[in-house]
Amino acid sequence: MTSAPSPTAGPITVAVIGNPNTGKSTLFTALTGIHSRIGNYPGVTVEKKIAKFQFNDREIRLVDLPGTYSLSPRSLDEMVSVEVLLGRQAEVGKIDVVVCIADASNLERNLYLTSQILDLGLPTVLVLNMWDVAVSRGVTIEAEALSKKLGIRVVPCEAHRHRQIDDVKRAILSAAGQSVISPPRVFPPEFYEEGLRLQSILKGWGDPDVPFYVAERMLLDVGGQVETSFTARFPAQLPDELNCARERLKANGFRVPSAEAKARYAWVRETLTGVLTTPAERPATRSDRLDQWLTHRTWGLLAFAFIMFAVFQSISTFASPLMSYCEMGQQAVGEFVGSWMAPGPFRSLVVDGVIAGVGGILIFLPQICFLFLFIALLEDCGYMARAAFLMDKLMTKVGLSGKSFVPLMSSFACAIPGIMATRTIENRRDRMVTILVAPLMSCSARFPVYTLMIVAFIPNIKWLSGWISLHGILFFGMTFLGAAIAIPIAWLFKKTLFRGETPPFVMELPGYKWPSPHIVLNRVYDRARAFVARAGTLIFATSILIWAASYFPADHSRQYQIEDQIDQMRATVQSELSQQAELEAAQKALPESDAAERTVLDQKLADLQPRLEPLNKLIEEKNAISEHLLETSYLGRVGKTIEPVVKPLGWDWRIGVGVLASFPAREVIVSTLGTIYSLGGDVDESHTGLHHALQNSKWQDGRPVYTIPVALSIMVFFALCAQCVSTLMVIRRETNSWKWSLFTFAYMTALAYIGALATFQIGTWITAV
Amino acid sequence: MKTLNDLRQPGQRGEILDVTGDDAVAVRLMEMGLTEGAEIELVGFAPLGDPIEFLIRGYRLSLRKAEAARVAIEVL
């Protein structure tokens, strides 16, 4: 082992790899600080994370690889790590040093991956993290002796306390001076002969650069990713060659694939003899005692239910007010900017397009951050694995695994963090199905639609002295409709698109630990940034597009004239307007019983009306013009064109336009309906004027448009549709393909249409009977 | 032949003899340390009786009954 410093002083590229739950991300941030570049490797869903730091005047580039228990790739995603380590990933380049991080308190299993890493022949540093946990469990490790046996640098470390971080940096630097290491010979000599032989055969077929590790994986992984991709290149010759090679190995007592694990664990045992001493009886740790409660049949479930309840309760307590601040902020900024600009297409673009578009992105942020905060906390402290353990049996009935539960549960608040949280599901098919059904969970953006329809059209019948109400039942039903539909849909996807044998549920239950605020906040920041930077631009673009469709090609000059007049009029009656606002506020604050005071206030308000009358007239006229403009816009025309399509759902063109306009986000339908019914766009779901307008809306023959079946059909549509650009963008990001966003949109829209159609037709039939 | 599913009481131990099959599931189980000669202890069951939690090579591992059935053991 030579440790002469490298003569070239360019940056050192270091790959960091290790088992899950070893504190890899803690070490990564401890080494580099929080700034890292995040992207995707081309063609796969693996996240590429690279960060740099300086040490002793050398620049060190750290590449984070996904946590894994072994380096035997079974899919393209898993292949990424191997390609990066072998220097065959163009965007990363040659790897100078591998940092393999292991849990010191659980060294035996961790060294399995280490032994595979050593086969790569790269200069390696083994970091024994969580040294303090090992010590507290009575485990002792002779790091020096281990280093001698392995022929690499071994560094004890406590990354979460930022201890021995410089030792790791020094070890990286000195390992970088090394050219190669000679891997320990874990397998019998016959195996290495077969590997070399395979290499030369491939050379004969025209591929001279197959690293030994790739040949090794080709022999060892029956049906693995390496075998698959090479068979695709040499379909005629390779299967026979591999079969013969494996048969020869078997004749020598080396049975593929089981021989690898046996050989490596035997090597691990032998390596650890004289290095590792563990107490004869494993002492019951605090983590074990905690687990007796948290995975208990009864108490475990209760604790889980309580934790989920607390998460949702705190989201509604903390995130909802922030969301309404976002909304208020957007309005205030819109009004402020609007007041500085003359009415015209540019003002409309800025206020209704740009500011509304940015607002539409920001409004999701509080929820995303809060949900991700909780998800990151649960993950980092080790509880997430317990949640999966508790919920697994239930989820297997749908064809998913326990790991899908928390992402789907989170989607009840917002599908965006839910979809982002599916990264912990390592099985691709499970993860894809979870992503595809997550948007069916009833998120908070559906609530305004439900509220509008239920309050305006459904009589609030109460039973059991008000304990049960029809409104309550409907809200409950709508909330769980999506989840109920998701069950057969998930099952169907598992049977068709993502068919295959049930993936194993082989999951480590890591020891509990205090979550590191640094890691948790960093993860929240990463996700929020990813959402704003990558999904945000596209969400923004869609908002502008919808704005343009609803603005052009109509002639807006009359509207601007009136807006000008309104602005002037407002200035003249400013004192009356503020008086009116004060009186209305006072009236709201008044207790129901105070009838006398109420009449006084009513009288005062009525006295103000004559002065405000001209302004109100103008606003009415403006709203009427806005309605007409929307009707004649591209969006309105499309709405009218598709009326025959939505008519079977009981809808008129106005609802059609509302649905089209709400493509960026579901709740937009409320303000669109406000515009269509001449009330202006700044109404909300509890606006009684909007309720009346809907109730009075008529078909040409005088029948009311909105009947109970129509209201239900709209609600069912919005429960099942994919009117949320953010979700579609996040699906694209997480699956690294537009295909799945389009698929989600298509299947959910079809589902929503069929659901709404059935609701309306059955509802009409029932009311007719 | 006894399998991991024959461990019924928390604290009961077994020695692993073999993992049946050559498929990805079998390989995964072996990679996680379920190889011949390793000692394994039952820790407990999830609320609906499945999955099951074990202690192996000093760490806790949960398996479904379907996977546990593939691990042949000798009850200690």
CA angle B20–A193–A254, rounded 5-degree value: 20
Nearest to B57 among A70, A109, A507 (CB): A109
CA angle A752–A758–A764, rounded 5-degree value: 130
Residue A549 has pLDDT above 50, yes or no: yes
| A497 and A555 assigned to the same domain | no
- Asked if A261 lies within 8 A of B35 by C-beta distance, the reply is yes
Mean per-residue pLDDT, A47-63: 91
CA dist A495 and A327 (Å) reads 43
More confident residue, A389 or A321: A389
Judge contact between A73 and A99, C-beta under 8 A: no
Q: Which residues pair with B40 in a beta bridge?
A: B14, B56
Determine the pLDDT at residue A607: 81
CA dist A539 and A358 (Å) reads 9
Mean per-residue pLDDT, A443-464: 84
Determine the pLDDT at residue A80: 93
Q: What is the pLDDT of residues A257-286, one digit of tens each?
A: 899 999 999 999 999 999 999 887 777 788
Determine the pLDDT at residue A614: 77
- Quote the tokens at residue A615: 């302004």
| A385 and A342 assigned to the same domain | yes
CA dist A656 and A639 (Å) reads 5
| A513 and A551 assigned to the same domain | no
CA dist A290 and A517 (Å) reads 21
SS3 A665: strand
Determine the pLDDT at residue A6: 46
| pLDDT band at residue A753 under the 50/70/90 scheme | very high
Determine the pLDDT at residue A214: 95
CA dist A3 and A125 (Å) reads 13
Determine the pLDDT at residue A111: 96
- Asked if A389 lies within 8 A of B59 by C-beta distance, the reply is no
- Quote the tokens at residue A439: 């948007």
Peptide bond connecting B10 to the previous residue in cis, omega within 30 degrees of 0: no
Judge contact between A126 and A175, C-beta under 8 A: no
Q: Which CATH number covers residue A107? A: 3.40.50.300
CA dist A62 and A95 (Å) reads 10
Nearest to A392 among B27, B30, B46 (CB): B46
Residue A725 has pLDDT above 50, yes or no: yes
Instruction: Name every residue in A having a CB less than 8 A away from some CB of B.
Output: 69-70, 72, 74, 105-106, 108-109, 112, 221-223, 256-258, 260-262, 265, 278, 282, 291, 295, 297-298, 300-301, 385, 389-390, 392-394, 396, 402, 501-502, 504-510
Judge contact between A240 and A227, C-beta under 8 A: no
More confident residue, A304 or A468: A304
> Which of B15, B29, B30 has the most A C-beta neighbours within 10 Å, making it the best mutation to test the interface with A?
B30
Q: Which residue of A has its CA nearest to B43?
A: A292
Domain that holds residue A672: 546-574+619-768
CA dist A341 and A403 (Å) reads 52
| A147 and A224 assigned to the same domain | no
ipTM for the predicted complex: 0.96
For residue A719, being part of any structural domain is answered with yes
Determine the pLDDT at residue A431: 93
More confident residue, A407 or A681: A407
Determine the pLDDT at residue A744: 96
CA dist A61 and A96 (Å) reads 10
Q: Which residue of A has its CA nearest to B66?
A: A504
Determine the pLDDT at residue A2: 43
- For residue A597, give the amino acid letter: E
Provide, rounded to the nearest whole percent, the portion of chain A with pLDDT above 70: 98
Q: What is the pLDDT of residues A160-210, one digit of tens each?
A: 888 899 999 999 999 998 877 788 899 999 999 999 999 999 999 999 889
Q: What is the pLDDT of residues B11-67, one digit of tens each?
A: 999 999 999 988 888 999 999 999 999 999 999 999 888 899 999 998 999 999 999
Q: How far apart are the CA of A22 and the nearest CA of chain B, in angstroms?
A: 12
| A327 and A410 assigned to the same domain | yes
Mean per-residue pLDDT, A735-761: 94
Determine the pLDDT at residue A747: 96
Determine the pLDDT at residue A541: 80
| pLDDT band at residue A218 under the 50/70/90 scheme | very high
The chain-wide mean pLDDT, for chain A, equals: 87
For residue A644, being part of any structural domain is answered with yes
* Interface contacts A/B by beta carbons within 8 Å: 116
Taking Cα atoms as reference points, which of B60, B58, B63, B70 lies closest to residue B3? Answer: B70
- Quote the tokens at residue A362: 């920001």
Residue A8 has pLDDT above 70, yes or no: no
| A162 and A213 assigned to the same domain | no
CA dist A131 and A684 (Å) reads 57
Taking Cα atoms as reference points, which of A517, A432, A403 lies closest to residue A20? Answer: A403
| A395 and A426 assigned to the same domain | yes
Determine the pLDDT at residue A678: 65
| A158 and A202 assigned to the same domain | no
Judge contact between A714 and A691, C-beta under 8 A: no
For residue A261, being part of any structural domain is answered with no
| A232 and A143 assigned to the same domain | no
Determine the pLDDT at residue B64: 94
| A248 and A100 assigned to the same domain | no
Residue A634 has pLDDT above 70, yes or no: yes
| A169 and A248 assigned to the same domain | no
For residue A535, being part of any structural domain is answered with no
More confident residue, B26 or A635: B26
For residue A83, being part of any structural domain is answered with yes
For residue A525, being part of any structural domain is answered with no
Judge contact between A168 and A99, C-beta under 8 A: yes
Mean per-residue pLDDT, A371-376: 88
Q: What share of chain A is helix, strand, coil (3-state, %, to 5)?
A: 65, 10, 25
For residue A5, being part of any structural domain is answered with no
Determine the pLDDT at residue A1: 42
Determine the pLDDT at residue A4: 46
> What's the total number of domains in chain A?
4
Determine the pLDDT at residue A631: 80
| A225 and A322 assigned to the same domain | no
For residue A287, being part of any structural domain is answered with no
| pLDDT band at residue A742 under the 50/70/90 scheme | very high
CA dist A301 and A392 (Å) reads 12
The residues, any chain, with a CB within 8 Å of residue A105's CB and separated by 6 or more, are A130, A133, A134, A137, A139, A511, B58
CA dist A36 and A525 (Å) reads 12
CA dist A556 and A673 (Å) reads 20
| Residue B71 contacts A where some CB pair is shorter than 8 Å | no
